[in-house]
Amino acid sequence: MLKNEKGLAMAMAIIIGLVVTVSGIVVWQVSSSDTMQVARDEDNTQAFFYAKSGVELAVGLLQNDPDYLAHGEESVFYGKLGDTAFSSTETADYTIKFEIERDNNDYIIRSTGIVRSGSALGAQAAASALGFRINIQQLEESTGVGGGGGQMPPLDMIFAISSGTEAININGSSRIEGKTGTNSTAANGVYLSNAGGNRIIGDLLIGPGGISGTVVNRTEKVSGSITNLNSTRNYSLPQFPSFPEFQACETSIILSGSNSWTINSDGCYPKIEVKSNTTLTINTGNGDRIIRVGDLDIAQGHIVLQGTGRLIIYVDNNFNMGGSSTINNNGDFNKVIMYYQGANEIQWTGNQRFFGSVYLKEADLTIGGSTRITGHIVSGAENVEISGNAQAYVRAIYAPHASLVLKQSGAVRGVVVAKDIELIGNCSIIYDDSMNIAFLESLDWGSEECAQTADWRSIGQWQRL
């Protein structure tokens, strides 16, 4: 080969090598760019779902405490999905931040999700932010968190719904035995006084994100494990039933002295009064005996059942049991169901005996003295109190709007659901799920209402920030 031909071949080889090298670099850059874009897309998607989770957490908090903030107030929380802590203190590695602001009767939620990269504290790969606005009334009436949906909510523990301070407050030598829970994530959400032998015997579940040493002031007084709920729980009241209509009412029944009376058929009465230790017998036959009464006053007397059926009694205005009066004493509690729609407080503070289940639409309830209740109590009241040496042997005290207070030596055996729970003195709540729950299962847990109630996600206004 000629000398100049050798030089030309060498030059061509160098040029081809440069072209291949440059092409390889371009292909690598394009490939790397595509890979980085895919990663960025994944990060952006993950950040969006973090932001959405922040809205879910905020709504869960507000559904359990609609008055969490006053107009103009704001709260900010930081944390990571799956963590046991969401705090108002900002950290450098949080992945979810949500802010809640109250504007008159609206709540405004702003949530930011962050995906972080690298080992440097605070390093950020992608961020996404969502806004959500909803009216308080719509929030209260909506579905989407916890129970509802036409099914009876879980009665698997003693539960305080409140998310605030002292949702569970145990003093003196009082105790709760069995699985216990609360939505609270606040400081001292479960408060056990320093003095006395008060304690929780069993496992304790606190609200999502709550820190055990913060929510529970004396963790050493909890014998079991302290863990977090997977999500906040929302307990709604079942539908209060419509009362039966009768074409005409019987005359009132007033029993005193040596008088006695037997009711053998369904009917309505303006008043039934049983006093002076007299007895009213109600023959249920082998079916359901339906009685509606304006005022039921058992000042000192007894109602006994005859037959194998049930007594279902509807009370409109006033219901009173005094002295050592009894209803179905020592009988099968499944045989008596009472619905009371009056507003006056019920006070069983003597030595009464009631074997049956009762649904109080709104009236407060005080059980005191040496009264004994065996059955279920469902209540829409704001206050339920058990004091003295009173005992309630129930499958459930179900009062999601009420502050339940036990004083002195008051005792409950069964399941309790209340807004908040306080034990003072030498009281006890013992979890027991052994009793028949046919009454609870028979109630209308909102199937009709829920069919007309929208999920909060479709009611509120979403905004991409």
pLDDT per position as a tens digit, 66-81:
888 888 999 999 988 6
- The answer to whether position 21 is within a domain reads no
* Structure confidence at residue 2 (pLDDT): 46
309 and 412 co-located in one domain: yes
Q: Indicate the pLDDT class of residue 11, thresholds 50, 70 and 90.
A: low
Q: Cβ(343)–Cβ(319) under 8 Å? A: no
* pLDDT exceeds cutoff 50 at 304: yes
- The answer to whether position 362 is within a domain reads yes
Separation between Cα atoms, residue 360 and residue 448, nearest integer Å: 21
Four-CA torsion 184, 188, 192, 194, nearest 10 degrees: 170
- The answer to whether position 181 is within a domain reads no
pTM of the model: 0.67
- The answer to whether position 203 is within a domain reads no
What's the domain range around 288?
236-448
**Which residue matches tokens 């007397």?**
301
343 and 427 co-located in one domain: yes
459 and 432 co-located in one domain: no
Q: Is the dihedral of CA 54, 60, 66, 68 positive or negative?
A: negative
pLDDT for 145-166, tens place per residue?
334 445 788 899 999 999 999 9
333 and 462 co-located in one domain: no
102 and 134 co-located in one domain: yes
Tell me the C-alpha to C-alpha distance, in Å, between residue 135 and each of 25, 59, 108, 368, 460.
57, 12, 9, 41, 8
Q: Which letter, b or e, does each residue of 30-64 get, where b requires 16 or more Cβ atoms within 10 Å of its Cβ?
A: eeeeeeeeeeeeebeebbbebbbbbbbbbbbbbbb
Lowest model confidence (mean pLDDT) among 87-96, 317-326, 331-340: 87-96
- The answer to whether position 174 is within a domain reads no
pLDDT for 167-203, tens place per residue?
999 999 999 999 999 999 999 999 999 988 999 999 9
* Structure confidence at residue 123 (pLDDT): 73
419 and 453 co-located in one domain: no
Q: Cβ(408)–Cβ(387) under 8 Å? A: yes
Helices and strands (DSSP H and E) totals, the chain: 6, 35
Q: Indicate the pLDDT class of residue 65, thresholds 50, 70 and 90.
A: confident
Q: Cβ(251)–Cβ(234) under 8 Å? A: no
442 and 457 co-located in one domain: no
272 and 410 co-located in one domain: yes
Three-state DSSP class for 458?
A: helix
- The answer to whether position 51 is within a domain reads yes
Lowest model confidence (mean pLDDT) among 25-39, 107-121, 396-410: 25-39
Q: Cβ(407)–Cβ(154) under 8 Å? A: no
- Other CB atoms within 10 A of residue 389 CB: 14
For 367, left (φ over 0), alpha (ψ -120 to 50), or beta?
beta
346 and 454 co-located in one domain: no
319 and 334 co-located in one domain: yes
For residue 1, with 0-12 CB atoms within 10 Å meaning exposed, 13-18 middle and 19 or more buried, which class applies?
exposed
Token pair belonging to 327: 């209803």
Separation between Cα atoms, residue 62 and residue 28, nearest integer Å: 51
If one counts the domains in the chain, the total is 2
- The answer to whether position 187 is within a domain reads no
- The answer to whether position 214 is within a domain reads no
**Which residue matches tokens 């339906």?**
290
458 and 376 co-located in one domain: no
Tell me the C-alpha to C-alpha distance, in Å, between residue 383 and each of 136, 176, 359.
23, 20, 14
289 and 354 co-located in one domain: yes
